[in-house]
Structure 1
Amino acid sequence: MIYINNLEIMRGTTTLLQDATATIYPHKRVGLVGRNGCGKSTLFAAIKGEFTPENGEIIVPSGWVISSVAQETPGLDRSAVDYVMDGDKKYRSLQRKMQDAEETHNGMAIAEIHSELENIGAYTIKSRAETLLTGLGFSRDEYTKPVKNFSGGWRMRLNLAQALLCPSDLLLLDEPTNHLDLDTVIWLEDWLKNYQGTLIIISHDRDFLDNICTHIIHMENQKLNMYTGNFSGFEEERAQKIKLQQALYEKQQAQLSHLQAFVDKFRYKATKAKQAQSRLKAMEKMERIVLAHYDSPFSFEFRDSPELPQTLVRMENLNAGYPDKTVLTDVKINLVPGSRIGLLGRNGAGKSTFIKTIAGILPPLGGTVEIAKGIRVGYFAQHQLEYLDDEGTPLSHLTRLAENHKELELRSFLGGFGFSGDKALDKVRHFSGGEKARLVLALIVWQRPNLLLLDEPTNHLDLNMREAIILALSDFKGALIVVSHDRHLLKTTTNEFYLVSEGRVSQFNGDLDDYHDYLIELDKKTEQLRKEQTKSQNEIKTNQKTSFKSKEQKKLEAEFREKLRPLKKEIENLDRKMTLLTSEKEQLEERLADENLYSPEHKEELQQILLKQSQVTSKLEETEMMWMEKSELLEQQTNEFNKSQNMD
């Protein structure tokens, strides 16, 4: 168990934890949640022993291996798969020992290291590393690419794969989904459900926490409050506690009334379509937990756009992509007020390309895209964070869009996005990724869009801000297209899904559970196709080799097999001898485990058994050495013969 006793942690002059206590049992999956800045990542660092708390203690069982995701990845020449395999420190250590033993011809050490390698599953490590890379979105061609060729987001995936490969007793994951798309989030979720160690995870993805966690630790008021169950259970329990505080009753009721109106409006329009019912359930769940976010610093709404055309965008036989590559073909979609579309599809399938084409960033390659007069596009993508003025402030950014508005009005608006008081005058260069994302969203909302294009809008945003976005979108009257790995956002803000796959954009008739099943089935088909292709290629190679073998080659191979026969026979005899000696050794050890054998009257028998054990052990080691030498000789002669045949 992990014990956290009377812990005090400070950051500068700010107290993050004071007399905090918690107990985490083995094999539990714990979600660590709380406001940004409350000290979640700092607590991780303390668990890893990277700094000493001011007071109290964190007790992790001795001998436990702790794995976590490295935050930086140098531009290495190592291949992606080798870099991931570096995550298993024990394996790399044994590799170095094996190299030293081979250089000094230490047969005993070589045998022992071989045994250790087998015990840690070393002979499957490469395939396990490749499985992790595939699950995290890497193609087979990318396994051998150097780490330095990957972008920052993909390097973080490599770090995640490295942490998952490491055999660990405690796995610490800090926002692991930030750089992932929906498909890889679903894959990671399934992987973590099967993780056998203790897991502590920091995440702002509600569905991710719901589907993984057995417990929640909420960091609040400098304490660690443990809840049994998943994230939704925690929110409901916390909401019930808050409900008892009468001083907050009026604010709670206002929030509930606002959400209830949205739920009712949707309920009466809902069809029996599975996606519609799925969204209704998500809305009703929100209704139960909204009180848990009563103290959120974020509150804003989308004000009505000056114009709202009956058809905002019409696409007919649209081809989209780049001058040298067509990504999507024959797209036909009309966007009208109230359209709420979630885009699904593998990474690289063309979701962002589709959104950029609608936004006018990419010109269509063919077909038509008709944009209505009076349309106002609100386009959010992660790269827009880079376009903010580092020396500017939230207030100066908004002032450029609203020169004729009073500063008091602008400050009030920015306050809903967490930029109150002096924060509105802080320079952007000091902002975190989450703060920059909130500022970009604030600038979009101010411009009163009637078409929202959101490409992963929740990266770096905490749970309170995500809930504020969902509440604001409940009253949005325009059209919405969203790409997100946050399934809760997709469930609560969209009415229909479109699948981007194989160069097409088509309606997906189902909910996110169906999409999960679709991905599993797709992976099965892909793997089956790969196996069939590999089998076919191997058969062709075999047939080619067989077809082109001359009579002389066949004669040489037969002579070589006959030459190896005595050596193979000798190896087989040694193998049988090792089996018999191993069995005899086990029987002797079983006798030695008998406590009665150590009584005075059995002294002579004990000495005989110990002597026999020593003799058998010595013979077994000698036989193993001979077996290894003969096996290496067989392999060497076979390789030399094959090499000579290939050269011919």
Structure 2
Amino acid sequence: MARCMDYIKTLFPVIDDEMFRYIDGVLENGSEDFQSEEEIYEAIGEVLLQLDDSKSESDIKNICGKICKIMKPSCNGMEENGFSKTLSAPIQLREVAEGFETSTREMESIWLMQKSYSLKVDQKKLAKATAKLQQKQEKRDLFGRMLPTNSVVAQMSSASASQMTSKKEAKMEAKGNNRSQDIRIENFDISFGDRMLLQNADLTLSFGRRYGLVGRNGLGKTTLLRMISSGQLRIPSHISVLHVEQEVIGDDTSALESVLECDILRCQLLAKEKQLNILLNSSPDATLSAELNEVYAKLESIDADKAPAKVSIILVGLGFTSEMQRRPTKEFSGGWRMRLALARALFSSPDLLLLDEPTNMLDMKAIIWLENYLQTWPKTLLVVSHDRHFLDTVPTDILHFHSQRIDCYRGNYELFEKTKTEKLKNQQREIEAQQAQRQHVQEFIDKFRYNANRASSVQSKIKMLEKMPELKPIEKEQEVVLKFPDTDSLSPPIIQIDEVSFRYTPNSEYIFKNVNLGANLDSRICIVGDNGAGKTTLLKLIMGILTPTMGTIHTHRNLKFGYFSQHHVDQLDMHLSSVEFLQNFHKGKPVEEYRRHLGAFGLSGDLALQPVGSLSGGQKSRVAFAKMCLSLPNFLILDEPTNHLDIETIEALGKAVQKYTGGVILVSHDERLIRKVCKELWVCGKGTVKSIEGGFDEYRKIVEKELAEVAK
């Protein structure tokens, strides 16, 4: 068959891959049935004619004759009439043997007949398949335009991947016969520079399931997503992949239209409709009218009129008001453009959707909406997240990235933790049981080693020890520990907000009015609300960075704030090591003290000496925590501290906040952290800030009620 395809490739060098695989499939599937060049011509002749207008029908028939000779060297050794004959009914060999006196020619006339074949190519099916392939290619082109930008490609240049592919899958992929929606990436490696991230790993993603990828910061979860989306890890070519990583480029396109543009087929049909209407207005024509009706039928079949409503629902869920949906994309900040990128991905609905920390850019209301939306995601989802509640709500499976491999667990994160804990306990029991058995056998050997009467038993025990598999000790992940410094007590009141109103300019609207709140050193307050509601503004007012337009804020004279900004990475010097960075920030201490201080935030050993730019996002956050606590604050202001932190570090942060002797005001969208540490909830919105009773449960009820009203 390979010789046939090489011959076709030689005669038709410009043949595209899809048509090449189609012809290969027809010849492969019909290789046993084709008996003459006429049958091969009926199967692929018309397709070959379309590939080269310069070749006549007789030329194509000659080509089919050559293909027939290559496939079946006996193709020329046919019967006199040019036909090969086959039995059309069963015969009894005994009867044939008994009646063998009859001539062979007579027997053939009874039992053999010319085989009849119908046309092998259904032209309507071929046209339909070609249209589907074209639509699929256009979709892949769209995803290609949404691939990582140059900055991400530069980061990927240090990473590399290799994998083994089975011959069976490679053959199916080459022929275009692979139509499975499941993804299997087997026996692959990923390295970043000299560091091996994954080795001999296997990854299986079943269609329709939602996978949560978890593991410590810096192991390579984001790199794995990039290897898949960039094609360095090969998956079946018919599966469309979209990795939401880069924000939408701002231009004059409205937010709504920016998302609608993802539906390429709809855009093409609408453009054609517009063109045909212009032509018909200038000169009415029956052919054009028929073509326009066909366009209308196609638009109706894809529910084109419902697309704007679907997009609007997605945008509203992600926090875009009706006015914002009409606003040009260039007017949005980077965070909102990332939301647009997420909206485009949800609307495009690729076969495999890759999300990396999607909740980082969202407020609590949008997170709750996204959790509900993704629970009914019909295709395959692979998401990296640090949000425990999100991982308990969305995934059907958890992929645990550790020790240069990936283990798969059925169920959400809570079930994964229980299963993993039980698995580790069983492994430990097995190791301990084997060690006890080894010790018992070794004691027997040592006791009777020089006893001639027990020589055979000793030799048997020695062989038993040699054959016993050696169980490796369990690799325990190092526990993450964060420790905030102790503080001296201050007498209340510590912070008092009285009738405070604020707006940035005399002509702008008030962010909030008439706010009355207070906090002490035992306060554990969480501020929640929609993005843009004024959460960060309130923090800056409390710290004195901004001055109230009206009202007053009283703070204790000995109050010392420690501020963790959500943009803390921008405040770090990427070229310095963590030790050097702290030395520049707070001079005059021995190097050992800086290193000991960093160790309290999980940055010990060589990590403290690496350039900050080489650290993972979570490790950079720990450097920022260390910097914040170096001046021994007695009141912590934490603005989105969980961004870029892994689950274990968030757990450690929660414990550190609980043990801290000073006051804490926290802005966060991590539901588990809020429930764990906060005693009081301040809600920003509708031009005010209020403390609500009932804590987070009450706030979640309010949000879900608002989302239900929007859905109506």
CA shift in 2, pair 1:239/1:425, >3 Å: same
Which residue of the partner structure matches residue 568 of structure 1?
none
Kindly provide the amino acid, as one letter, of the partner of residue 144 in structure 1.
R
Equivalent residues in 2 for 1:47-126, closer than 5 Å: 47-48=228-229, 50-53=230-233, 59-60=235-236, 63-98=238-273, 106-126=288-308
Structure 1 pair 384/35, CA: closer, same or farther in 2 (3 Å)? closer
State the one-letter code of the partner of 2:256: V
What secondary structure does 2:513 align onto? Answer: strand
Partner of residue 564, structure 1: none
**Number of the residue aligned with 1:437:** 621
CA distance in 1, matches of 2:615, 2:203: 32
Equivalent residues in 2 for 1:98-177, closer than 5 Å: 98=273, 106-177=288-359
Contact 1:317 1:331 in 2 (8 A): yes
1:358 to 522, 532, 542: 542
* Identical pairs, percent: 37
**Aligned ranges for residues 398-417 of structure 1 at < 5 Å?**
398-417=582-601
Task: Report the CA distance between 1:357 and its aligned residue.
Answer: 0.8
Matched residue type, 1:320: F
Query: 1:475-516: CA deviations, max 9, x gaps?
Result: 012221111111111111101212222222222222434323
1:191 Cα deviation from its structure 2 partner: 1.0
Aligned to 2:105: none
Q: In the alignment, is the contact (CA less than 8 A) between 2:369 and 2:707 conserved in 1? A: no
Residues 318-360 of structure 1: CA deviation (Å, up to 9, x unaligned): 2234343432222222211211111122222222221111111
Decide whether the 8 Å contact of 2:351 with 2:380 is kept in 1.
Answer: yes
Q: Which residue of 2 aligns with 1:12?
A: 193
Distance between the aligned counterparts of 1:349 and 1:241, measured in 2?
A: 45
Aligned-partner Cα distance in 2 for 1:403–1:455: 26
The whole-number CA distance in structure 2 between the counterparts of 1:97 and 1:16 is 49
* Matched residue, 2:443: none
Question: Which position in structure 2 is the counterpart of 1:605?
Answer: none
Distance 1:17 1:5 in 2: 12
Q: Which residue of 1 aligns with 2:485?
A: 303
**Which amino acid in 2 is paired with 1:47?**
I
Q: Does 1:192 align with 2:374?
A: yes
Q: Hey, what does 2:80 align to over in structure 1?
A: none
Instruction: For 1:387-402, list aligned pairs within 5 A.
Output: 387-402=571-586
Q: Partner of 1:143: helix, strand, or coil?
A: helix
Mapped partners of 1:142, 1:409: distance in 2: 51
CA distance in structure 1 between the aligned counterparts of 2:703 and 2:680, rounded to whole angstroms: 18
What's the counterpart of residue 498 of structure 1? 682
Change (3 A) 1:18 1:337: same
User: Structure 2 vs 1, CA of residues 81 and 236 (structure 1 numbering), >3 Å: closer, same or farther?
Assistant: same
Cα–Cα, structure 1 residues 68 and 100, in superposed 2: closer, same or farther, change >3 Å?
farther
Q: How far 1:99 moved relative to its partner?
A: 5.3
Give runs of aligned pairs for residues 584-595 of structure 1, distance below 5 A.
none
Residue 26 of structure 1: which of 202, 207, 217 is its match? 207
Shift of 1:108: 4.4
Distance 1:110 1:40 in 2: 49
Q: SS at the partner of 2:539?
A: helix
Deviation (angstroms), 1:161? 0.5
Distance 1:385 1:167 in 2: 33
Which of 208, 212, 218 is residue 37 of structure 1 equivalent to?
Answer: 218
Query: Contact between 2:317 and 2:707, CA under 8 Å: does it hold in 1?
Result: no
Q: Return the alpha-carbon distance in structure 2 between the equivalents of residues 501 and 73 of structure 1.
A: 27
- With over 3 angstroms needed to count, the CA separation of the structure-2 counterparts of 1:488 and 1:101, relative to structure 1, is same
CA distance in 2, matches of 1:19, 1:430: 25
1:79-114 Cα deviation digits (max 9, x unpaired) = 111111122233334445545666776444433333
Q: Which has the higher helix share?
A: 1
Aligned residue type for 1:210: D
Task: State the secondary structure of the residue aligned to 1:354.
Answer: helix
* C-alpha contact (below 8 Å) 1:312/1:375 kept by paired residues: yes
On the 8 A contact 2:577/2:609 being kept in 1, the answer is yes
Amino acid at match of 1:78: T
**Equivalence for 2:607:** 423
Query: Structure 1 stretches (4+) deviating beyond 6 angstroms?
Result: none
Which structure 2 residues correspond to residues 565-584 of structure 1 after superposition, within 5 A? Answer: none
Asked if 1:3 corresponds to 2:178, the answer is no
Query: Displacement, 1:207?
Result: 0.8
Q: What is the SS of the residue equivalent to 1:382?
A: coil
User: Where does 1:504-583 land on structure 2 (aligned, <5 Å)?
Assistant: 504-523=688-707
| Aligned match of 1:345 | 529
Cα-to-partner distance string for 1:116-164 (whole Å, 9 max, x where unaligned):
3223221111122222221111222122222122111111111001001
> Structure 2-normalised TM-score?
0.62
> Could you say which structure has the larger radius of gyration?
2
Residue 694 of structure 2 aligns to a residue in which SS?
Answer: coil
CA distance in 2, matches of 1:351, 1:478: 21
Q: Is the 8 A contact 1:296 1:464 kept in 2?
A: no
Q: Distance in 1 between matches of 2:616 and 2:337?
A: 20
Structure 1's 397 and 63: CA in aligned 2 closer, same or farther, altered over 3 A? closer
In the TM superposition, what whole-angstrom CA distance separates every residue of 1:519-577 from its partner, at most 9, and x where no partner exists? 2323455688xxxxxxxxxxxxxxxxxxxxxxxxxxxxxxxxxxxxxxxxxxxxxxxxx
Asked if residue 460 in structure 1 is aligned to residue 675 in structure 2, the reply is no
Give the whole-Å Cα distance in 1 for the aligned partners of 2:354 and 2:672: 23
Partner of 2:3: none
Cα deviation digits, residues 435-466 of structure 1 (max 9, x gap): 43322211112322221111111112222221
**Cα deviation per residue 1:586-627 (whole Å; 9 max; x = unaligned)?**
xxxxxxxxxxxxxxxxxxxxxxxxxxxxxxxxxxxxxxxxxx
Which shows bigger deviation, 117-126 or 227-236? 117-126
- 2:607 is paired with a residue whose SS is helix
Q: 1:207 aligns with which of 381, 384, 389?
A: 389
Distance in 2 (alpha carbons) for counterparts of 1:429 and 1:297 = 24
Which residue in 1 is equivalent to 2:666? 482
Do the aligned partners of residues 389 and 376 (structure 1) sit closer, same or farther apart at CA in structure 2, a change above 3 Å counting?
Answer: same
Distance 2:573 2:191 in 1: 32
Contact map agreement 2:371 2:393 (CA 8 A) in 1: yes
Q: Tell me how far apart the structure 1 counterparts of residues 484 and 620 of structure 2 sit (CA, whole Å).
A: 19
Among residues 466, 469, 472, which one is paired with 2:656 in the alignment?
A: 472
Distance 2:232 2:586 in 1: 49
* Counterpart AA for 2:421: A
Which residue of the partner structure matches residue 536 of structure 1? none
> What is the SS of the residue equivalent to 1:194?
coil
Amino acid at match of 1:92: C
Quote the residue 2:119 is aligned against. none
User: Does 1:224 pair with 2:406?
Assistant: yes
Output the CA distance in 2 between the equivalents of 1:107 and 1:77. 34
> CA separation in 1, counterparts of 2:616 and 2:262?
28
Whether the aligned pair in 2 keeps the contact of 1:378 and 1:444 (CA below 8 Å) is yes
With over 3 angstroms needed to count, the CA separation of the structure-2 counterparts of 1:209 and 1:312, relative to structure 1, is same
Q: Which whole-Å CA distance do the structure 1 matches of 2:205 and 2:571 have between them?
A: 43
For residue 124 of structure 1, give the secondary structure of its aligned residue in structure 2.
helix
- Pick which of 419-428 and 190-199 moved more: 419-428
Give the C-alpha shift of residue 221 in structure 1. Answer: 1.7
Tell me which of 560, 564, 570 is aligned to 1:376: 560
Deviation at 1:76, TM superposition (A): 2.0
